[in-house]
Amino acid sequence: MTSGKQYVDSVFEKVKAQNGHEAEFLQAVEEVFDSLVPVFDKYPKYIEENLLERLVEPERIVSFRVPWVDDKGQVQVNRGFRVQFSSAIGPYKGGLRFHPSVNQSIIKFLGFEQIFKNSLTGLPIGGGKGGSNFDPKGKSDNEIMRFCQSFMTELSKHIGADTDVPAGDIGVGGREIGYLYGQYKRLRNEYTGVLTGKGLTYGGSLTRTEATGYGVVYFAEQMLKSKGEDFNGKTAIVSGSGNVAIYAIQKLHSLGAKVVACSDSSGYIYDEEGINVDTLKQLKEVERARIVQYLEHHPNAHFTPAGPDSSIWTVKADLAFPCATQNELNDADARALVGNGVIAVAEGANMPSTLEAIEVFHASGVLFGPAKAANAGGVAVSALEMSQNSQRLAWSFEEVDAKLYDIMKGIYENAAAAAKEFDAEGNLVVGANIAGFLKVAEAMSAQGIV
């Protein structure tokens, strides 16, 4: 009989042979596959159904041309993607990323992770992701609008409220969702919840803007509680200064921690007095400024430019929240954090820690909350936005926030319990992967070979 390890290894070899050039995708797959070996030992029928090989192949990938005209009247062309990875437990759901680094590998890694994350929320949503190599930095509002309209003209053929419901991600915030939604409505002549992260005047949910940042802090709270700890008096580092970072910082401050450092791709700020969230929101949400401009408001803070010898992770703190982008925290960074006495790391970004960094945290006994569990708050509230749209109702901030809190607590408990059941107590990477996988596997198994 084939063992779990033999089966998982053989599928991984095939995935490598077919996707060898997709480094980020392979990294995400390897992390999940490593965790699933004991599941296949326990449920050999999933080997017979070749469930893993089916799951790791996206149901559909759409890649398309996005032509648009810039303010100088010149025609520009970008590449758009939508990966519809798994619809086993609900309509495809996952954000859109606009960043020059976007390629098929990055969208596939994000879509693959999204399957497990969405399953962990306990809500009926499948896994998908999309985006473009378009760079919104420095573009005028009109350029952003023309790009979004062109992008949606093609995307609208592939999505729908019961088919696939995209949301925001890096480079796609409230402004972009508004333009995308306007174009969808115009093309389809229907007012449905086809996107989440919408503005509050046209079907958005209260707490969606805050959800990922608040959620990662609620998750970390549960991690700390398991060791009899809380946020009071603790210092923290939060990388990034976008949507996830800003609201993680806000929630950490409200729960008694002090965030002393945050960043953007040009460098990081250290503010001994604690990062001022109002300043950060003004700079990033209103002025779309660079992080160095924080010093104009808080001259006692320090700015360190990005470079090979500079890392936000060398700042001394009790807690670390990587909330910028993938692979932003490597093994040297992890060792620096451990050397400075970090006790917990929770991932707000997707796959921010390399596999080697995660090994360092586990070997050092640092509490580690992996992205697919810790940052699931955003997609969870997106699913709540879909519910409100279907009901044609709007719930209060407190109601949605309370549901978010319960969902994050539930994810922590499920991941911790799965880790324990499969002999990996305390390892939330293994726990989250297994807990997320089991629901999808059961649904796939019930639905036959599709």
Q: Which residues are annotated as a binding site?
A: 93, 114, 117, 168, 212, 243, 382
Strands lying side by side in the sheet with 319-321 = 302-305, 267-270, 258-264, 235-238, 319-321, 344-346, 367-369
Q: Minimum CB separation from ligand NDP for residue 324, in Å? A: 4
Give 86 or 207: the residue with its C-beta nearer to ligand NDP: 207
**Residue 329 within binding range of ligand NDP, rule CB under 6 A:** no
Q: Minimum CB separation from ligand NDP for residue 256, in Å? A: 23
Stretch that binds ligand NDP, among 140-148, 183-191, 253-261, 344-352 (CB under 6 A): 344-352
Q: Which of 348, 369, 370, 436 binds ligand NDP (CB under 6 A)?
A: 348
Feature table: binding site for substrate: 93, 114, 117, 168, 382
**Residue 217 within binding range of ligand NDP, rule CB under 6 A:** no
**Residue 240 within binding range of ligand NDP, rule CB under 6 A:** yes
Give 90 or 240: the residue with its C-beta nearer to ligand NDP: 240
Feature table: binding site for NAD(+): 212, 243
**Residue 130 within binding range of ligand NDP, rule CB under 6 A:** no
Stretch that binds ligand NDP, among 64-72, 73-81, 318-326, 436-444 (CB under 6 A): 318-326
Residues annotated as part of the active site: 129
Site string for ligand NDP, 153-182 (x = CB under 6 A): ---------------xxxx-x---------
**Residue 241 within binding range of ligand NDP, rule CB under 6 A:** yes
**Residue 244 within binding range of ligand NDP, rule CB under 6 A:** yes
Site string for ligand NDP, 376-395 (x = CB under 6 A): --x-----------------
Q: Minimum CB separation from ligand NDP for residue 378, in Å? A: 3
Q: Which of 59, 264, 271, 401 binds ligand NDP (CB under 6 A)?
A: 264
Binding residues for ligand NDP, rule: CB under 6 A, are: 168-171, 173, 212, 240-245, 264-266, 323-325, 328, 348-350, 375, 378
